[in-house]
Structure 1
Amino acid sequence: MDLQHWLGQANDAIQQWADTFGPYERHPSLLVEDDRFAAAFEEFTGRLTDNYPFFHPHYAGQMLKPSHPAAVVGYLTTMLINPNNHALDGGPATARMEREAVAQLAAMFGYDTHLGHLTTSGTIANLEALFVARELHPGRGVAYSADAHYTHGRMCHVLGMKGYPIPTDDRGRISLDALEETLRTGEVGTVVLTAGTTGLGTVDPIHTALALRDRYGVRLHVDAAYGGFFTLLAGTAGPEGITPEPWRAIARCDSIVVDPHKHGLQPYGCGAVLFRDPEVGRFYLHDSPYTYFTSTDLHLGEISLECSRAGASAAALWLTFQLLPPTPDGLGRVLGGRPPGRPALGRADPRIRRP
Structure 2
Amino acid sequence: MLRLPLKLSGSFTFSGSGTPSDCPSPVSEVFSGFSVDSDASSSNTSTSSLFDASCTRHDRLGAWFLGPKAENIGFLKQFLNSVADETERARLAFQPDDPKFIGPEMQASTIFKNEMSELDIALKELVGALAEHSIPFWSPRYNAHMNGDTSLPGMLGYLAAALFNPNNVCTESSPLTSVIERDVGLQLCQMLGYDISNTESSKPWGHIVCGGSVANLESMWSARNMKFYPLSLACALEPGAPLDFIRDEFSIELCTGETKLLSQASAWELMNLKPETVFDIPERLQSDYAISAGALSSALSPYLIQTCGKEVLEQKFDMKPSKYFVGTTKHYSWPKGAAVTGIGSEHILDVPVDIDARMDISKLDEQLHQCLVTQTPVFAVVAVMGSTEHGAVDPIKGVVQLRTKYQALGLSFAIHADAAWGGYYASFLHEPDVPQPNGSIVPEQALSDYTRSQLEYLRFADSITIDPHKSGYIPYPAGGLCYRDGRMRYLVTWTNPNVYKDSDGTESMGVYGIEGR
TM-score grouping bracket, smaller chain normalisation: 0.7 to 0.9
Shift of 1:37: 1.7
Structure 1 distance, partners of 2:326, 2:416, is 10
Q: In the alignment, what sits opposite 2:509?
A: 300
- Distance in 2 between the 1:145 and 1:101 partners? 29
Question: Per the alignment, in what secondary structure is the counterpart of residue 366 of structure 2?
Answer: helix
Q: 1:291 to 1:248 in 2, by over 3 A?
A: closer
Q: Quick one: which of 460, 475, 490 aligns to 1:252?
A: 460
For 2:219, which of 129, 154, 179 is the aligned residue?
A: 129
Q: Does 1:106 align with 2:182?
A: no
Distance 1:293 1:218 in 2: 35
Deviations 1:26-54 (A, max 9, x none): 59999563322222123212321211211
Out of 328, 333, 340, the residue aligned to residue 158 of structure 1 is 340
Secondary structure (helix, strand or coil) at the match of 1:137 reads: helix
Structure 1: 5+ residue runs without aligned partners? 309-355
Q: Match for residue 262 of structure 1?
A: 470
Give the direction of change, closer, same or farther, for the CA distance of 1:154–1:146 in structure 2 (3 Å limit): same
Matches within 5 A, 1:162-241: 162-184=347-369, 185=371, 186-214=376-404, 215=406, 216-234=411-429, 240-241=446-447
Q: Which residue of 2 aligns with 1:242?
A: 448
- Distance (Å, rounded) in 2 between the aligned partners of 1:282 and 1:51: 41
Contact 2:462 2:484 in 1 (8 A): yes
Aligned residues: 308
**Partner amino acid, structure 2, of 1:25:** F
In the alignment, is the contact (CA less than 8 A) between 1:141 and 1:190 conserved in 2? yes
- Aligned equivalents of 1:225 and 1:247: distance in 2? 13
Work out the CA distance in 2 between the residues paired with 1:31 and 1:78.
27
TM-superposition CA deviations, 1:265-291 (whole Å, max 9, x none)? 100011000111111222232249998
1:245 is paired with a residue of what secondary structure? helix
- In the alignment, structure 1 residue 90 sits paired with structure 2 residue 173: yes
Q: State the Cα distance separating 1:220 from its structure 2 match.
A: 0.6
For structure 2, list consecutive stretches of 5 or more residues without a partner in the other structure.
1-62, 64-74, 196-202, 229-320, 437-443
2:500–2:508 contact (8 Å) kept in structure 1:
no
Normalising by structure 1, we get a TM-score of 0.81
Q: From the two aligned structures, give the one with the greater helix fraction.
A: 2
Q: Which residue of 2 aligns with 1:353?
A: none
Match of 1:35 in 2: 117
Q: How much does 1:163 deviate?
A: 0.8
Aligned residue among 61, 85, 92 for 2:144: 61
> Does 1:10 find its partner at 2:83?
yes
Is the contact made by 1:89 and 1:294 (CA closer than 8 Å) also made in structure 2? Answer: no
Q: Which residue is equivalent to 1:343?
A: none
Identity of aligned residues (%): 28
Question: Could you tell me how far apart the structure 2 residues matched to 1:264 and 1:54 are?
Answer: 14
Deviates more, 1:132-141 or 1:290-299: 290-299
Inter-partner Cα distance in structure 1 for 2:102 and 2:466: 41
Distance 2:169 2:445 in 1: 45
Equivalent residue letter for 1:114 = P
Q: Does 1:120 align with 2:207?
A: no
In 2, the alpha carbon distance for the partners of 1:31 and 1:286 equals 47
Task: For 2:475, give the aligned amino acid.
Answer: P
Q: Structure 2 vs 1, CA of residues 81 and 288 (structure 1 numbering), >3 Å: closer, same or farther?
A: farther
Are the equivalent residues in 1 in contact too, given 2:379–2:413 (CA < 8 A)?
A: yes
Shift of 1:12: 0.5
1:144 pairs with 2:339:
no
Shift in alpha-carbon separation, 1:211–1:259, aligned structure 2, 3 A: same
Higher relative contact order (CA 8 A, sep 6+): 1
CA distance in 1, matches of 2:330, 2:133: 31
Cα RMSD for the two superposed structures: 2.5
Cα distance 1:31–1:128, how it changes in 2: closer, same or farther (>3 A)?
farther
Q: 1:127 to 1:211 in 2, by over 3 A?
A: same
1:322 maps to which residue? none
Tell me, yes or no, if structure 1 residue 25 matches structure 2 residue 94: no
8 A contact 1:116–1:303 mirrored in 2 = no
What SS does the corresponding residue of 1:273 show, helix, strand or coil? strand
